[in-house]
Amino acid sequence: MTDPMHSSLQAYEQLLQAEFQDSLDEELEMELDDARMDGLIARAEGGVPLQPGDLSRRTYFSELLRLQGELVKLQDWVVHNHLKVVVLFEGRDAAGKGGVIKRVTQRLNPRICRVAALPAPNDRERTQWYFQRYVPHLPAAGEMVLFDRSWYNRAGVEKVMGFCSDAEYEEFFRSVPEFERMLVRSGILLIKYWFSITDNEQNRRFLARIHDPLKQWKLSPMDLESRRRWEAYTQAKEVMLERTHIPEAPWWVVEADDKKRARLNCIAHLLSQIPYQTVPRAQVQLPARVYNPDYLRMPVPDSMLVPARY
């Protein structure tokens, strides 16, 4: 005779295993997408295969899952202690900022850890105080905000592409240290990352996007122009780092030619910048389901059902 308790426990373990497998599949899907892009790059370059790195997939996945587990602990700590965290992700086009942001947020609560990726300013915003449109996205207590590009657009793309005047450019460098010091004095933890890739690596990644119909949307006319103006962007980056690397909010440079290492290194460093501990959690008790003898679940009309194609 089968023990009902044993059967229930076995079913529960199978459910947990299925959930874990689903999480791995989600991560694997993104990694397969990277592998597909690598293949497209190789074909675009005449079929020369990429040299595999010495970071094994087993090491990468195990470390990524471990770090993401620590990010969950950090999230709990941020909420428990009412911290306000801002992380800036800057770098050249195709430097891998988005890939790191995806891995940071993948297992976190989007109500606690959110991404701010602002579009180009509209006509009204261009007349505002430069920092004004970024301020509403700053965190309240118990929140983390990841800026996928930030107010440093003025020191980069706006300078290189001529979208700001020389006077506006200089005023930015006068204002941004004080702006960031104000943020820090208000209790915000401000962490700034610059993702650094080589000329050849950016070229390879752009070729992948050109030849990949699922990635072509990432290539804007501005991205293509950035290839032509590589040296101008380099000069602008060097000036920016020199003039805005302040003790209250220093820059951290992530070597990003190897995307997997960049992800692990950046997440590990981010965790090191915020001292945190495990927040004790009360054991969750699932309440008993209330059964009402008068309750009758109404059937869903076939016309409302999504066709079962799979």
- pLDDT tens for each residue of 285-301: 999 999 999 999 999 99
pLDDT of residue 21: 62
Give CA–CA dist 198/66, Å, rounded.
29
Give CA–CA dist 112/277, Å, rounded.
17
Which pTM was predicted? 0.84
Mean pLDDT, to the nearest integer, of 270-282? Answer: 96
**What does the DSSP 8-state code read for residue 12?**
H
22-31, 46-55, 88-97, 271-280: least confidently modelled range: 46-55
Mean pLDDT, to the nearest integer, of 121-137? Answer: 97
Would you say residue 50 has pLDDT above 70? no
Q: What angle do CA 180, 186, 191 make, to 5 degrees?
A: 45
What is the Cα 67 distance to its own chain's centre? 14
Mean pLDDT, to the nearest integer, of 1-8? Answer: 65
Mean pLDDT, to the nearest integer, of 147-161? Answer: 97
Average pLDDT, the chain: 89
241 to each of 96, 153, 249, 253, how far by Cα in Å? Answer: 19, 13, 11, 10
Radius of gyration from C-alpha coordinates of the chain = 24
